[in-house]
Amino acid sequence: MTEKNSNSSNNIVGSFLESNHHDPEIGHAHDLKKLGEYIRCILPDNSKGIQVKKLVSTDKRTDDSVKYRPYKLLKVILGPETQRDLLLSRTRSHGNFDIRVRPDMSLEDRIERKRALAGLETRRQNGEENLRLVSFRIFRS
């Protein structure tokens, strides 16, 4: 299975408030509970639930000597790809939460997106306005 196919049902959840408990199992249970609350808030009552197969923290645990970072990124591995699409569409329509959700991308897509964002920033610094990024391409709005 290629990386692009394996990422097809994954989402990355950002600005997720990290549990400050030192026991990883309790912290993981806290993260699952908070994610479940968030999903229940954004899904309509008549839709079927979203099955979270796995929840993976992409940040390393910080030491006490290192500055504490209260937020972390989580990789949410869902069931079918339709669940990912449902979660993404509902997240976009509920912009009043601090949590951000985006689809997981392959390494090549992340590199291409980073280049496109750098180009977008350069054009904005040169005075261009009303620019947006769509599928790694820059457009005027």
Strand partners, 13: 74, 101
% residues pLDDT > 70 (the chain): 69
Q: Which of 46-55, 83-92, 104-113 has the lowest mean pLDDT?
A: 46-55
Residues 74 and 130 in one domain: no
Clarify whether residues 27 and 85 are in a common domain: yes
- pTM for the model stands at 0.60
User: For the segment 19-56, what is each residue's pLDDT rounded down to a tens digit?
Assistant: 667 777 887 788 778 877 777 777 766 566 677 777 77
Please tell me whether residues 65 and 132 are part of one structural domain.
no
Whole-number average pLDDT of the chain: 75
132, 84: one domain: no
pLDDT for the residue numbered 65: 43
Residue 100 CA: distances (Å) to CA of 12, 41, 50, 88, 130: 8, 14, 17, 10, 22
Q: What is the mean pLDDT of residues 51-77?
A: 66
Same-domain check for residues 25 and 76? yes
Q: Which long-range contacts (CB under 8 A, 24 or more apart) does 87-95 make?
A: 87/11, 87/39, 87/42, 87/50, 88/11, 90/42, 90/43, 90/44, 91/42, 93/42, 94/41, 94/42
The total of structural domains in the chain comes to 2
Q: Are residues 66 and 111 in the same domain?
A: no
Nearest to 113 by CA among 105, 101, 125: 105
Q: Is the dihedral of CA 96, 80, 48, 58 positive or negative?
A: negative
Q: Are residues 112 and 100 in the same domain?
A: no
Residues 58, 43 within the same domain: yes
Range of the domain at 114: 106-141
Q: Are residues 129 and 139 in the same domain?
A: yes
Q: pLDDT category, 111, cuts 50, 70, 90?
A: very high
Confidence of residue 10 (pLDDT cuts 50, 70, 90): confident
In this structure, the answer to whether residues 76 and 120 fall within a common structural domain is: no
